[in-house]
Every structure is written in structure tokens, then in C-alpha cells.
A and B are shown apart, each in its own frame.
Chain A
Amino acid sequence: MPRSQIVTIARFTLLEAVRTRLPWLLVIVLAVIFGTAYFIQQLAITESVRLQTAFSAAATRFAVVAVLSLHVLTSIVREFNDKGLELTLSFDLPRSHYILGRLSGFALIALLAAMLATLPQLLLGPTMAALQWGLSLAMELVIMCALSLFCIVTFTQLMPAASFVAAFYLLARAITALRVMTDTPLFGGDSWSNQFLALITESLSLVLPALDRYAQSTWLIDGGVSWPAVGANVMQTALYVALLGAATLFDFQRRNL
């Protein structure tokens, strides 16, 4: 049963995360951030809760993205090094099922991590805003897991894959600001270099998800965002994960194992 093979691989991906103590690592990271946010709140003279909430949300988002991306990269690298991949594929298992199983497993881990990361925010911000933030963070994490999987399958080495994931994340967070800057430059708007930059930025924005629209700490501070905005995050995630999944399958099918 092909579907059961995908589910089995997803289940083992989840089991691997538990056995490598990923949940505990996340709990420790979240506790450190929560403690630091409380410390910052104590230092602030005014708007202390605002400062605490903003720091907690922004630091949590960044830390969870980093931890999960590294988890995906190291998990697949370990499988490459231990020859576990060759063993798995020696069974009657299509390559596409292996990738889909891994992707599903990592996506499930992303959802669970986002739930865990939302708990401290529920204590700090309005409940509805924290839930919207958590859902949006889950979508962002799913994209980053899919991207990490794609990178490690493509590059096979940890360093280039991790560098690419970091660069992609920073660019995806900054792409809207870059578009605005190249759209309306403060000077030299007609020069060919500006027009070339604008063209490059516009092209990049078509193939990148605008991650700056995801899980913003201002939602928790200012009391939430409209549900259609969160829905747009979900829609963009579905499209982008499909694209990354297809790209991973494409590359994986070309590999000689």
C-alpha cells in the first residue's frame, strides 16, 4: 500500500525527532527566550509588556526556524552518512514516496513545534492574536522544513545547504522591503542599474514566499490581524511546499545512489 509507506516514513521521521530529543531542545530554547523576555520587561521603564511580547515573539520565531531547519538538515545528512537511505530504497519503495513521507513527517514536526511555540505567546498576548500568530508560524516552519529538505537533497553537504537555507530565509524576510526600495528609489531612479535591480528584485519576488507577511510580532502587540491575511499565508504555504516538494522529487529522481 503506497499510502501506508508514506505514513510509515512520516511516523519514523517523527520518532527520530523524539529520540534525538528535539522536543526538549525546543522547550529549553523557549524557556530561555521566555526568561529573557521577562528580564527585559523588568528593565523597561515604559511599555514593558509590549517590549516583552515583541521580544518573545520575534526571538521565538527566529529560534524555532533555526532549530527546525538544522534538525531537517542533520537528519537527512545522518541518513546519507549511515547509508540508511540506500537501505530504505532497497525495499520496494518508490523514491517519490520516500520524499513525500519525509516531507509529511517534517511538516508534522513543524506543526507540533509551532503549537509549542505558541504557548508562551498565549500568556503574553490576546488569545485570538496568539492563535493567528501560531498558525502563521506553523506555515512558515512548514515552508522552511520543505526548503531544508530540498537543499540537503540537492547539495548533500551540510554547510552549503545550511548557508543556502539561511540566505533564502533572510531574503524571503526582506524581499518586500527590497521591492519597495527598488520601486521608488530615493535617487537615480532612471539609471539602468536601478532598473536592472528592480527587474531582478521583481523576478525574485515571484519565486520567493514573502515571509515578512508571516507571524509578525505586531499582531500580538496590536491585537491580531484579519483572518484573510492568515488564510493567504496558508494558501501561499500550500503552493510553495508543492513547488519545493516537486523540486526535491525532481532532484532526487536524478540522483544515482
Chain B
Amino acid sequence: MARDERPIGSVSGRVWALLLIALILQITWQWSQPRPVAAAAALDAPAPVSALKLSSFGEPVVLAQLMTLYLQAFDNQPGISIPFRDLDYQKVILWLETILALDPAGQYPLLLAAQVYSQVPDQARERQMLDFVRLEFLRAPNARWRWLAHATIMAKHRLHDDALALQYARDIAKYAPEAPSWARQMQIFILEDIGEIEAARILLGGLLEGKQIKDEREIHFLMERLESMKNVENSTPMTKM
């Protein structure tokens, strides 16, 4: 809206002077203040799920997503990047659990656990994250098997803990019947890899006998694999990798 204004010259000298002096003083004051310094803040535990549900006003999924973004961005605080190893993993897990409680169908927290926070160069923390993934997998195996499959690979190739990898792979086979066959067959290849050829052969044989696999090409591949295991077992002594 156009305004009917007087020329600038109509402003009295005293007002001009007051404005300029106040502006100069303000700038001088702010200039003299110490510069703000970036400081890492510790991650607090999340509020209880019941309180969060209440404060979400009927939109717990949206709140869960906002919390996920907050947690994800926590290592990038204003002007500072916090290494994962400096985060309190117990609290990170609490956050992830809370987010999953608010949005059980969400996969994001499990992705963060399996593929982001587990990349920390600290085996104890890495194991914490993988254990968290397993616990959450057990709550909804058919919906969350892929994250335990990833955890299996992590346990095998990063932690070099064959027993743990085998346990995860067995959990997938046992509790997630809707997982694709490659995921449920992971235990066989781990057993084979660690030299437990006999056990792997029995499992693979059982799988083929049980008619759980329908795809002809997959059956053919697994049959070849079974034959190759038998040949290896007959020709060379077993060695653990």
C-alpha cells in the first residue's frame, strides 16, 4: 500500500542524531561481545513413549519421523561434527527404540542402526547396534529380516564373529518365513564358509527335500551347490577359514 510520506528532510536533527548514535552503539556493543564457540551437547534420553504419543496430537508417525531426523542430525550440531564413537550408544538405542515404538512400521531407525551407527570403528558399539537390530527383528521378523541379514554380513565380515553371524542367519531362517530364500539360506553358506560342510549339507538337503523352494533355477543352483559340498567333503580335509 502506497503511503503518503513527508521527505526525509522533515525528520528533526535530534532524531537523526539519536538514530545514528543508537545504531553505532548497538554495532559497537555487538562487535565487542565474545564470538560464539561451537560446543558439543550431550544427547539426552528421549521422553517416555506415552508422553510423546500425547504430545504428537494423534500423529505419532510424524513425531517419530521428526525424532529420526533430529537423531540423525545430532552428530552435526551447529558448527561441529561429533564422531559416532563420542555418542552415548545406550541413549542412541533408547532413541531408536522410542521411534520404533511410535512408528512400528518404520524401517528408518533400523537402517540407521544397521548401516549408519554400526559403522563406528569400535567393536563394542558395533555389537550393541547389531544386538539392537536382532532384538527389534524378533518383534516383527517378517517385516525386519533385511536388517538382520545386513547385520549377519556385518558380523561375518567386519566383526569376523562367525558364531554371531551364524546365530543371526539362523534367526532369519527360523523366525522369518516370509523372507526370500536367499536370506533364509544364509546360514548354509556361512556354515560352508566356516568349514561346517556337514551341517551345511544337511541343512541344504533338508531345504531341498522340504520343497520350500519353488524356483527351478534356484533348485538347480542349490543342487549343484550340494554336489560341490559333497565333493569337497570327500576330497579334502575340512579347514576353518
Contact = CB atoms under 8 A, between A and B. Distances in A.
A176 to B, nearest CB: 5
Max chain A CB contacts within 10 Å: which of B26, B37, B45? B26
A27 interface: no
Contacts of A186: 76, 81
A130 B29 CA distance: 27
Interface string A165-184: 00000000000111111011
A176 B48 contact: no
A254 B29 contact: no
Nearest to A175: B36
A43 B50 contact: yes
A178 B36 CA distance: 10
Given A44-B48, A246-B18, A249-B15, A205 B10 contact: no
B169 to A, nearest CB: 37
A180 B38 contact: yes
B12 interface: yes
A74 interface: no
Nearest to B5: A254
Interface in A179-193: 179-181, 183-186
Given A242-B18, A242-B22, A250-B19, A43 B6 contact: no
A183 B31 contact: no
6 contacts: A44-B48, A205-B30, A243-B25, A247-B19, A249-B15, A253-B10
Interface of A: 40, 43-46, 51, 96, 156-157, 176-181, 183-186, 205-208, 210, 232, 235-236, 239-240, 242-243, 245-247, 249-250, 253-256
Given A43-B50, A253-B12, 19 more contacts: A43-B51, A44-B48, A51-B47, A180-B36, A180-B79, A183-B79, A186-B81, A239-B26, A246-B15, A249-B15, A249-B19, A250-B15, A250-B16, A253-B15, A254-B6, A254-B7, A254-B10, A254-B11, A256-B5
